[in-house]
Structure 1
């Protein structure tokens, strides 16, 4: 108990209270010393009383002898000789004025009692009141005395309290103890610094820490650091609390602070104790390092890295697609003609440099046109893929197998002589002849012809090698098909026998010959029957055959669960072109249009044998139809649209003038656009009408709204990549 009282006696609040009391008493003593409260009024009142009583005695004596003149002289003498007396009046009991002198306006009619400034004294004659004497003294302003006293107290207390508290508040605001140069250095720290007392209240805080929470320093002093809006779990213990209780030094404590404006700051706090507990002074030094900007940069960097990885993956994928477009045949997956020629050039140069053997096999499927005519292009495509798979299976991993065009293939065999290449070709021939036994291929018989040639000392170029291999293939075709022929100089003379270079199977030869003759008869009959179904200007089939082909492909797509596509195209303002340039020039323009359309489709390899029946058609005078077969998914139609848009956007030349055609393209895909040929073409025509409303010179529209949205982004990206590839910004 005694110890508690001692602590209280030494406490700062008690000391401050006693100091204020002493200061107030000092001001009161000073006011009393200078008589600022007006205590002199008592002596003044006594003096006035003595003057009044003296005059009353004198006038009572004069009244007893009825000396009225003496009364008047006494009154006038009092006023004239005493500057504090302003007026004198003697009034009888009957109310008559016996004597008066001075400024009578200063007199106040007071029947009884007196004031400091006015005295009312009775005059006795014997034992009875004879008259009343009124004396008006100089006015004393008591309100001014009170105001003077109050003003002195106010000013005195104000000055003394200010001087005292400037010293005393140092005990309450420790920041005032810090010299200005030290405080400036304290504020120069980039990281926030906070000093807490033993109650974890903020004693000192620098500008950086105050800016972290967005409040002025003065409003933070004396408050708990725990009161800041920390984003932490409910059972979280602040690190400064841990440091104060345990004395442990903590560092790199991650904290999150949620500001009033919704912003979240990421801070790293370090805490250590300050002061000595035995001295009664103990607190915590807290440093707050704002990592928000770094954290944001890290997040931005991570986001950028993710976007870069995504972009890199997209670019890699597009490069693969471009590489596939540039080097692979989409139908068979074999090397296309461009990649085939590149590989052959490389192997040819290597064979000459080493030197080393190099052989070439050229393969052509027999009676392939008859297969297309009798079974449709879908079956023809299946046979092409089956033969391609057979070639790959019978060749080595480092051999190059490519589609040379249509139903022709070329195999490059590095390191093999003519005899070894002949063995490979014969093995493949036998395997091809067995494909017809596969139920998935609806043909009675299937065969292929092979031409073989090897690089000789006199072979000057790959073109010479290919031409001589082609001559061997032609010889195999001419001599009955389904056989392997190796090139020799004797092939240059058609009359020379080639028995030594022909390998064939006699069991198949006669049957193949009969099939060939039958197919020729059927083809001639068919040509005569459907000649009227072809457009005489462009040579493409008309609507009837085209619709039959679509229906056939729809049935096949249903059976094999494939996608097909139909396209409807028209030339804008064709009538105006005819009127301007004439029919002859317009016919040339239409032929060039159809030729460019066929080249675009052929280069895309999305439709095999474009120049054969039913793949492209003249629907009406100014409407052209295109059938896209064997689409694995709808996305495969988009590269075709992109290529056509690019080709048709190039100028056409008519009568020596460059003309840019406007073309509308409508696309409908099975099964989204319809379940039969009529529905597919109707939806394609409707999509073409919607394409006509777009501002593009060459515009397209998908019948499916969802595919239309996807196609815009896909086609734009594919076009940009193709342009980059053509300008050699990409290397594949």
Structure 2
């Protein structure tokens, strides 16, 4: 697989290769890097010979006790030493530091000349010739990989690691000062300058290679150097970026290899006015579909946006006026359909909706009931307490009916002190229970709410009809409830009567 290295990396590797080759040549020709293991071995050998001279001198003067005392002192002075021993020609160990016998026996023949050294001595008190030998044992040499490497190899490794970083950073900084626009043909620059949109060409590292005249005119500071800089480092563009989240259009374009038009910037340009810029980016691909750069354009749409904002404002004002008109119309519709004193429906708005309910119930075989209600002896209330108290009685009566009715029920002021309720999905028994609750509530609450002493007892009468009783129209259903109400009025008042009871009584009277 072929690696795609950028120019800076390729130059760095080339310089590093030349430097390492030069170091290897100097070491090969001049031997400038000595072997540390060889130097250490030579030093140990010289040290062992020095110890042998001292011990032999003491033995020549019959100072064996002194020599025995000197050996431990030598071990303490040099941390490299492990043990020292004096052996006679017949291989008898004459003098030795502790553990010398075991340390010496544990060493192999490969350690002779590395950690074990033998120095023969020929001087003695009894004879001449080979008297014996001095044995010196050192700690083994460090065999770790790093210590086994020669100084030249260590230097090359360290130089390679540090040199790569230093060369790369230096070249990366130095190459920024090169002017990539010098390689742009004049005819290409002329064509770009002829475009009204601000155009910027970026290289593969997102640095500016070329800009056209329109982009230069956007710069608040005409002396600001922009070539070879990252596009987002441009002062005015960076400030416009503060209110934008996510990747820049050119970042997204170069990552996806697809055109991007997701950037909207607000920037204060050379004219000092806050401008709105639509940003688009298109990738520049080579023959292998690798990204080699990006072409970024900035289209100033400030004037168009201002016109759009003005249009939106006008449309908002128009919409607000329309909504206000709709609210006012709804209020007028409500005022036209609601009784102003009680808040219930008036007859004009009630009966069209009641007729629709009736047709729906007959067509789909659904339940529908109707209640007619009237305040008992209301004329006496007006005559005895005045019309103001009479109005309060009507309002309280209507409030109780609205409270006891469901959201689907419709309460209507039929006329004067007479009210009605349409109850969809309700049979005669359920409607009678609703009427009975209202009757009891009126009897308990209306009189008690009046500012009178003593407080009168206000009662009401109710008539209930249901669609299942055979009414052929909404008017007939209402008339049947009215007949039931009439029956309640003439049979003691303060009661609820269903139309079925009226029919039953009428049939009984005929019989």
TM range (shorter): 0.3 to 0.5
Higher RCO (CA 8 Å, separation ≥ 6 residues): 2
Based on CA coordinates, which of the two structures has the bigger radius of gyration?
1
TM-score by length of 1: 0.32
TM-score, with structure 2 as normaliser: 0.43
